[in-house]
C-alpha cells in the first residue's frame, strides 16, 4: 500500500517535499504551502496529507475507490488519490448514503464530504501516512462509475504484458509503475536544474530533419509540399548539437526524443527513446567526465537508496577491459576476472594452446574458487554455454586432493600444471576454465562465460558500479569487406590528431571515444569530436572514402568547420536506462508511460495503422505490399 513519509529534499536552491512509499521511491507534490492552495468543489485536502491535526475538521476529498469492505453495519472505502490513501467510513444510519456506497465498484471516481475523526486505538494503520485518522462520510458524488476492470489495481497479480499495454491507463494506476513514472519526472527536473547550475543551455533541435547514417534505420516522413521527398525523424541530435558549438553556445543540453527503426530488447524500447543529450565546447575528455560523474553522484545520493561503488568512476581502456572482463560493458560487481596465461604455454606440448601463443592470438583462464567439486551436470551446462558463445568446447582443470582432473590434464606435464597452479594461485577445490584462439574472439567468449558464472554470486542490487571505457581503437579490419573501417564513431578526434594518421599503422591509432557503463549496462557512448576538416578528410580516406564522398554526405558539417569551429565533445546517456537502473527494473517498459510492445506496436492506440486513400493521394504515395509467398495466406 501507499505508505508515505514526508521529508524535505534540497536540490540546489529548490526545495521539494517528496512523499516516500515503502519501496523508497518518492512523489513530488511541491512545497508544503502548495498543499493548501487547492480548494474547490472537488477537494479541500489530499488523501495522503490528512493527519491527526485535522481531527474534527470538515473535508472534501476526491479520487478512486481503491478497495471497499462491507462489514455489515459499516462500509469502509479506501480512497486513493495522487498522494496516497485515506480510509472512509459510511455509517448505516444514513440509509441513502449507505445504499449508494453499496453500489460502488472499485476504481470508480468519487468526490466526498465528511469529517476527520481519530481512529480507535486498535484500528490505527501504521503503514499509511493517514493511518491515525479516517473520514466519516456525509455525502458522495459519483463522478464516474467504473465497469469491471480487465485486471485489478489494488492487488499486484500477474498480468500479461499484452493486456497491460492495451489498458495502459489502468496499468499506470498500479503503485509500482505509478511510482516509476513520478520518479522519472522528478529525476528529469533534477537533471535540468543541475545542468543549468553548471551553465548549460537547454535548446530544442528539429524533429523533422534529413536522413543521416547513424547506424540504424530511419523513420521516414513523406513531404506533402515536396512530392517524392522525405524528412527523417532524428536518430539523435548529433549534427545539430555540434553545429550549436560552432554557433558559439558553450554548453548545450536537451532531454531529446530519438527515433530508430530497430528491434526491441529488455533495455531498449523500439521506435523511440529519450536521452540526455549534452555537448560542450573547449573541453578535454576529463572535463566531460567530471560533469557527468558529478551529476550522477548527485542524483544517486539525493534521489535513490542506491550507492556508487567507486567515485570518481574507474577509467578502463578498451584493451584492458577486454583482457580482464571480455566485454566493453562489464558488470564490475561480479567477483571474477579473466587472466592471461599465454606466456605459460609457449613451446608447450599441448598444441591447441601452444599454437595460440603467436601474435594476434591468446590463451585465457577464468578461475572459480571452491567450485572444483561441482557435479558433471554443471560442467556439461558450462560447455553448452561456451558453444552457444561460439567456442568449439570448454577446457577445464579441477584441482582436487587426489590430483588435477579434466579433459586437458592428459596433455599437460606435471611442470605445466605446477606452473599454472602457482601463477593463478590455485588451491585444491578450485577449477580453472580456458579459452584459446584469436584475441578478440577468445576475450568475448570468456567474457560471456564470466557473465554466465556471475549467476553463482549474490550481487548487491543497491550497488552501482559505474566505469568509463576509454581509448577505443579508431579503426578495425573488416574481414568481410577486406578493408580498414571505422570501429566506433567516424567523427571522433584521433589521439595524436594528424600526426597519428600520417605516421601510425591504422589499427594502432586510438580515438578520444568513451562509453559509460553501469552494472553491465551501457548508458551512453560519447567522444571528443573531430572539428578539423583536414583531419576528417584524412581519417575517412584511411577508411576508403574519397574527398568527394565526404563532401557529398557531410558537406554542411565540413563547411561549418571551415568557418570557425571550437574543440568540442559530448555524450548522450539514455534517460530511460538511467531511470530503469535507479528504479530496480529489468524491463525498460516499466519506466515509460506509454511504451510499444516487442513488435513495435502501440496496441492501446492501434499503431501503426492504415491510412485513408485521401491521405495517400495528398502525400503522392502508393502502397505496394510485399508479395505473399506461394502456399502462404
The span from the CA of 528 to the CA of 530, in Å, is: 7
In contact, 346 and 357? CB cutoff 8 Å: yes
Q: How far apart, in whole angstroms, are the C-alpha atoms of residue 40 and residue 113?
A: 12
Cβ(534)–Cβ(570) under 8 Å?
no
| Among the ranges given (21-25, 64-68, 219-223, 224-228), the one the predictor scored with the smallest mean pLDDT | 21-25
Phi, psi of 617 (to 5 degrees): -65, -40
Cell (9 digits) for 218: 530511419
Q: What is the pLDDT of residue 10?
A: 34
What stretches of 454-523 show up as alpha helix (H) in DSSP? 497-503
> β-strands 338-340, 201-202: how paired?
unpaired
- Cβ distance 421 to 399 under 8 Å? yes
Average pLDDT over residues 100-122: 95
Q: Say which DSSP state 147 is in.
A: P
Report the distance separating Cα 310 and Cα 443, nearest Å.
Answer: 25
Query: What pLDDT, on a 0 to 100 scale, did the predictor assign at position 492?
Result: 95
Q: Can you name the residues that pair with 363 across neighbouring β-strands?
A: 436
* CA 158 and chain centroid, separation: 23
Read off the pLDDT band of 629 (50, 70, 90).
low
For the chain, helix, strand, coil in percent to 5 are: 30, 25, 40
Q: Do residues 106 and 173 touch, judged by C-beta distance below 8 A? A: no
Residue (of 502, 475, 499) closest to 489 by Cα position: 475
Region label for 266, one of left (φ > 0), alpha (ψ between -120 and 50) or beta (otherwise): alpha
What value does the mean pLDDT take over residues 111-125? 94
C-alpha cell at 255: 532531454
Per-residue pLDDT, 471: 97
Concatenating the DSSP letter of every residue in 320-362 gives: HHHHHHSSSS--TTS---EEE-GGGGTT-S-HHHHTT-STTEE
Query: pLDDT value at position 554?
Result: 86
**Worst-scoring range by mean pLDDT, 32-41, 219-228, 412-421, 585-594?**
32-41
pLDDT of residue 481: 87
Per-residue confidence band for 266, with pLDDT thresholds at 50, 70 and 90: low
Of the pLDDT bands very low, low, confident and very high (cuts 50, 70, 90), residue 373 is: confident
Given this model, what pLDDT does residue 160 score?
A: 94
- Range name among 7-16, 301-310, 390-399, 571-580 with the lowest pLDDT average: 7-16
Beta-strand (E) ranges in 96-170?
109-118, 133-144
C-alpha span between 74 and 109 (Å, rounded): 20
What pLDDT score was predicted for residue 78? 97
Lowest mean pLDDT among 17-21, 225-229, 595-599: 17-21
User: Would you say 77 and 109 are in contact if contact means Cβ atoms under 8 Å apart?
Assistant: no
What was the pLDDT predicted at 273?
93
Mean pLDDT of 61-76: 92
> What pLDDT is stored for residue 553 in this prediction?
85
Query: What is the percentage of the chain residues whose pLDDT exceeds 90?
Result: 81
Helices 533-542 and 547-562, interaxial angle, to 10°?
160
Residue with more model confidence, 458 or 633? 458
Reported as a pLDDT band with limits 50, 70 and 90, residue 632 is low
How distant, in Å, are the alpha carbons of 66, 82, 142 from that of 152?
10, 18, 20
Which has more pLDDT, 156 or 621? 621
Q: How many Cα atoms occupy the beta-carbon half-sphere of 86 within 13 Å?
A: 33
CA dist., res. 255 & res. 576, Å (int) = 11
pLDDT surpassing 70 at residue 75: yes
Sorted by where each starts, the structural domains of the chain and their CATH numbers stand as 5-148 (2.40.50.140), 165-282+573-633 (3.30.930.10), 334-458 (3.30.1360.30)
Residue 211's pLDDT band (cuts 50, 70, 90): confident
pLDDT, tens digit (0-9, with 9 covering 90-100), for 311-362: 999 999 999 999 999 999 999 999 999 999 999 999 898 999 999 999 999 9
What does pLDDT average to over the chain? 90
Average pLDDT, stretch 178-191?
96
* pLDDT digits 0-9 by tens, 509-568: 999 999 999 999 999 999 999 999 999 999 999 999 999 999 988 888 999 999 999 999
Q: How confident is the model at residue 214 (pLDDT cuts 50, 70, 90)?
A: low
Residue written as grid cell 524533429: 207
For the entire predicted model, the pTM comes to 0.87
pLDDT of residue 170: 96
Taking 70 as the threshold, does the pLDDT of residue 240 lie above it?
A: yes
Lowest mean pLDDT among 1-10, 121-130, 156-165, 622-631: 1-10
Amino acid at each position: 500500500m501507499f505508505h508515505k513519509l514526508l521529508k524535505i529534499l534540497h536540490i540546489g536552491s529548490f526545495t521539494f517535499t517528496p512523499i516516500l512509499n515503502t519501496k523508497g521511491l518518492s512523489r513530488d507534490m511541491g512545497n508544503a504551502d502548495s498543499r493548501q492552495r487547492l480548494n474547490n468543489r472537488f477537494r479541500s485536502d489530499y488523501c495522503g496529507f490528512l493527519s491527526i491535526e485535522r481531527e474534527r475538521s470538515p473535508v472534501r476529498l476526491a479520487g478512486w475507490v481503491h478497495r471497499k469492505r462491507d462489514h455489515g453495519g459499516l462500509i469502509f472505502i479506501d480512497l486513493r488519490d495522487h498522494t496516497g490513501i485515506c480510509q472512509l467510513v459510511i455509517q448505516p444510519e444514513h440509509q441513502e448514503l449507505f445504499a449508494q456506497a453499496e453500489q460502488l465498484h472499485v476504481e470508480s471516481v468519487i468526490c466526498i464530504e465528511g469529517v476527520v475523526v481519530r481512529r480507535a486505538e486498535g484500528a490505527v494503520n501504521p503503514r499509511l501516512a493517514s493511518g491515525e485518522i479516517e473520514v466519516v462520510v456525509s455525502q458522495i458524488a459519483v463522478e464516474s462509475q467504473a465497469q469491471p476492470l480487465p485486471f485489478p489495481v489494488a492487488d499486484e497479480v500477474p498480468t500479461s504484458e499484452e493486456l497491460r499495454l492495451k489498458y495502459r491507463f489502468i496499468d499506470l494506476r498500479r503503485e509500482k509503475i505509478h511510482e516509476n513514472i513520478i520518479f522519472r519526472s522528478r529525476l528529469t527536473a533534477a537533471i535540468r536544474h543541475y545542468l543549468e547550475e553548471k551553465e548549460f543551455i537547454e535548446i530544442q533541435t528539429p524533429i523533422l530533419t534529413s536522413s543521416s547514417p547513424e547506424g540504424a534505420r530511419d523513420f521516414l516522413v513523406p513531404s506533402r509540399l515536396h512530392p517524392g521527398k522525405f524528412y527523417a525523424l532524428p536518430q539523435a541530435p548529433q549534427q545539430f548539437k555540434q553545429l550549436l558549438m560552432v554557433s558559439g553556445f558553450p554548453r548545450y543540453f536537451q532531454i531529446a526524443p530519438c527515433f530508430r527503426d530497430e528491434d526491441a530488447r529488455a533495455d531498449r524500447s523500439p521506435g523511440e527513446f529519450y536521452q540526455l543529450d549534452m555537448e560542450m565546447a573547449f573541453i578535454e575528455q576529463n572535463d566531460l567526465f567530471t560533469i557527468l560523474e558529478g551529476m550522477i553522484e548527485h542524483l544517486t545520493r539525493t534521489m535513490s537508496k542506491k550507492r556508487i561503488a567507486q567515485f570518481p568512476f574507474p577509467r578502463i581502456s578498451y584493451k584492458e577491459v577486454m583482457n580482464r572482463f571480455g566485454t566493453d560493458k562489464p558488470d564490475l560487481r561480479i567477483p571474477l576476472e579473466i587472466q592471461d596465461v599465454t606466456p605459460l604455454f609457449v613451446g608447450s606440448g599441448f598444441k591447441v594452446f601452444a599454437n595460440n601463443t603467436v601474435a594476434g592470438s591468446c590463451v585465457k583462464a577464468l578461475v572459480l574458487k571452491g567450485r572444483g567439486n561441482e557435479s558433471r551436470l554443471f560442467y556439461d551446462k558450462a560447455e553448452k554455454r561456451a558453444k552457444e558463445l561460439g567456442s568449439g568446447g570448454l577446457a577445464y582443470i579441477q584441482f582436487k586432493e587426489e590430483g588435477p582432473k579434466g579433459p586437458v590434464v592428459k596433455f599437460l606435464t606435471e611442470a605445466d600444471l605446477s606452473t599454472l597452479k602457482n601463477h593463478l594461485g590455485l588451491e585444491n577445490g578450485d577449477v580453472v576454465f580456458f579459452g584459446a584462439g584469436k584475441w578478440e574472439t577468445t576475450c568475448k567468449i570468456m567474457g560471456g562465460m564470466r557473465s554466465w558464472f556471475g549467476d553463482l554470486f549474490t550481487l548487491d542490487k543497491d550497488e552501482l558500479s559505474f566505469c568509463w571505457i576509454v581509448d577505443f581503437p579508431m579503426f578495425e579490419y573488416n574481414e568481410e569487406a577486406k578493408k580498414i573501417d571505422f570501429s566506433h564513431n567516424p567523427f571522433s578526434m584521433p589521439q595524436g590528431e594528424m600526426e597519428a594518421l600520417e605516421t601510425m599503422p591504422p589499427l594502432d591509432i586510438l580515438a578520444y571515444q568513451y562509453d559509460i557503463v553501469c552494472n553491465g549496462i551501457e548508458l551512453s557512448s560519447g567522444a571528443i569530436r573531430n572539428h578539423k576538416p583536414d583531419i576528417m578528410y584524412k581519417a575517412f580516406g584511411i577508411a576508403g572514402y574519397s574527398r568527394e564522398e565526404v563532401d557529398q554526405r557531410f558537406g554542411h558539417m565540413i563547411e561549418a568547420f571551415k568557418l570557425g569551429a571550437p574543440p568540442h565533445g559530448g555524450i548522450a546517456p539514455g534517460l530511460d536506462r538511467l531511470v530503469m537502473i535507479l528504479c530496480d527494473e529489468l524491463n525498460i517498459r516499466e519506466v515509460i508511460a506509454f511504451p510499444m510492445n516487442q513488435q513495435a506496436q502501440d496496441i492501446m492506440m492501434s499503431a501503426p495503422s492504415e491510412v485513408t486513400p485521401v491521405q495517400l493521394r495528398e502525400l503522392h504515395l502508393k502502397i505496394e505490399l510485399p508479395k505473399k509467398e506461394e502456399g502462404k495466406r
